[in-house]
Amino acid sequence: MSIEVKVPVLGESVTEATVGEWLKQPGEAVKADEPIVSLETDKVAVEVPAPFDGVLTEQKVAVGDTVEVGAVIALLTEGGAGAAPAAKDAAAAPAATAPATAAPQDADASQTLSPAVRRAVLEHGVDPSTIKGSGKDGRLTKEDVIAAAKAKDTEAPAPASTAAAGAPSSAVPAAGRNVERVKMTRLRQTIAKRLKSAQNDAALLTTFNDVDMSAVIEAREKYKDVFQKKHGIKLGFMSFFAKASVLALKDIPAVNAQIDGNEILYHDFVDISIAVSAPNGLVVPVVRDCDKLGFAGIEKAIADYGKKAKEGTLTMEDMKGGTFTISNGGVFGGLMSTPIINPPQSAVLGLHRIEDRPVVRNGEIVIRPMMYIALSYDHRIIDGREAVTALKTIKEAIEDPTRILIDL
């Protein structure tokens, strides 16, 4: 008897998803809680697990289809494994028609690849069975595939030219001229819509400042070992900026507020969305109650979210809410940017790379590790004076971290 597998509840206000990838094919055996299909919502990717041990009998929907919560997407039969139809057809096919080399995505049938990983495998032409996964339970990540491709390119010898001297250049196909058309994921579509909506609806403006990172760098160097020994986590820059932002948001409540129709919502708490890179795009999980958390609590939350983002296990609840955002383009080498707010929030802090620059201190030119910081804000509810003051408060707290301790 076949049992229906339905689209589970995906989260508050989320009613539909897109079928991203089938992780099991008809005829394949599955174990209880083993993922059989990946669904992409407008916020995260969700894997639907098998409810019991059995065999996947039928896929009721195809990759790319839009499915609603509660819709039947597959049939599952309890019992032993059956042969997959594709496998039977392949066995009956003449040996002469078999390709000399298996396609990269089929090199290791026991692996289940996420949509992002599968696209990376196809793009870079690597064999996933030869790559050691760094994700959860040894699963491959997009970063694993890219690293393997770079290693492959480094090791591969340059191909010898087979063109005869004087042969027309048209005889050799031009490299790098292929065009691949890939449908945008639901997450990427939502990111595009939200960012464009922010530009269209908000009165965006950005103010800049620069920060001398000497004090924070010195504090990290002095306390990093004892901090990690006590808390089991590294002391990073983000916790300093999060706590500095708390000071600014408490002093300038409008920066921590949002517009709701004709009203302004002021929050007496600080939930900071920290932008992190995930296989399907940039996501912003929320570190809640940053005004109550210590440095260690913030660092642990960020580390947990970073791991979940890499593994593709972020949940709806992880992304829900947020009153302010911090985005660190410096990890990619960015010198300066104008970040876009994360609606319905009203402000976002952009961090950038640290580099030694000449500055004047006490009438002398000295070299200091400097960082440009940017605050983009919705001018509809945040005045220029408030934005400049908030960014200046963050700057002063970073340059003199004692201010964070004494709430100054």
CATH number at residue 241: 3.30.559.10
366 & 257 share domain = yes
* CA distance to 205, 270, 387, per residue, from 384 (Å): 9, 21, 5
Q: Is residue 169 part of a domain?
A: no
In the chain, how many domains are there? 3
Q: Give the H or E element holding residue 325.
A: strand 324-328
Q: Is residue 189 part of a domain?
A: no
Residue 374 three-state SS: strand
Domain closes at, from 139, 155, 171: 155
What is the value of pTM for the model shown?
0.64
64 & 116 share domain = no
74 & 123 share domain = no
Q: What is the pLDDT of residues 233-255, one digit of tens each?
A: 999 999 999 999 999 999 999 99
Closest C-alpha to 74, from 49, 100, 42:
49
Query: Looking at residue 125, which CATH number applies to its domain?
Result: 4.10.320.10
For residue 266, the 8-state DSSP code is P
Q: Is residue 167 part of a domain?
A: no
Query: Residue 62's domain spans which residues?
Result: 1-98
Domain closes at, from 98, 119, 140: 98
Contact 246, 297 (CB under 8 A): no
Structure token pair of residue 333: 């080498």
144 & 240 share domain = no
249 & 349 share domain = yes
Q: How far apart are the first and last CA of the chain?
A: 68
Q: Is residue 231 part of a domain?
A: yes
395 & 258 share domain = yes
pLDDT at 41: 78
Q: What is the pLDDT of residues 26-52, one digit of tens each?
A: 989 999 888 899 888 766 778 888 888
Residues annotated as catalytic are: 379, 383
234 & 124 share domain = no
pLDDT at 86: 41
247 & 385 share domain = yes
143 & 255 share domain = no
Contact 59, 4 (CB under 8 A): no
297 & 397 share domain = yes
pLDDT at 115: 58
Q: Is residue 192 part of a domain?
A: no
Closest C-alpha to 351, from 369, 368, 326, 376:
326
Q: Is residue 253 part of a domain?
A: yes
Residues 321-332, buried b or exposed e (16+ Cβ, 10 A)?
Answer: ebbbbbbbbbee
24 & 129 share domain = no
pLDDT at 137: 65
Alpha helices in 211-281 (DSSP H): 214-231, 237-251
| Intervals of the chain under pLDDT 70 | 11-13, 42-43, 80-116, 118-119, 122-123, 135-137, 153-176, 279-281
pLDDT at 168: 46
pLDDT at 13: 64
pLDDT at 214: 97
pLDDT at 174: 59
Can you tell me the distance from the alpha carbon of 149 to that of 124, in angstroms, rounded to the nearest whole number?
Answer: 6
Q: Is residue 114 part of a domain?
A: yes
* CA distance to 106, 189, 256, per residue, from 127 (Å): 8, 29, 48
Q: Which residue bears the tokens 């010198």? A: 335
Domain closes at, from 89, 124, 155: 155
Closest C-alpha to 344, from 303, 293, 277, 284:
284
8 & 61 share domain = yes
Q: Is residue 186 part of a domain?
A: no
Query: Looking at residue 92, which CATH number applies to its domain?
Result: 2.40.50.100
Say how far residue 348 (Cα) sits from the centre of its chain.
17
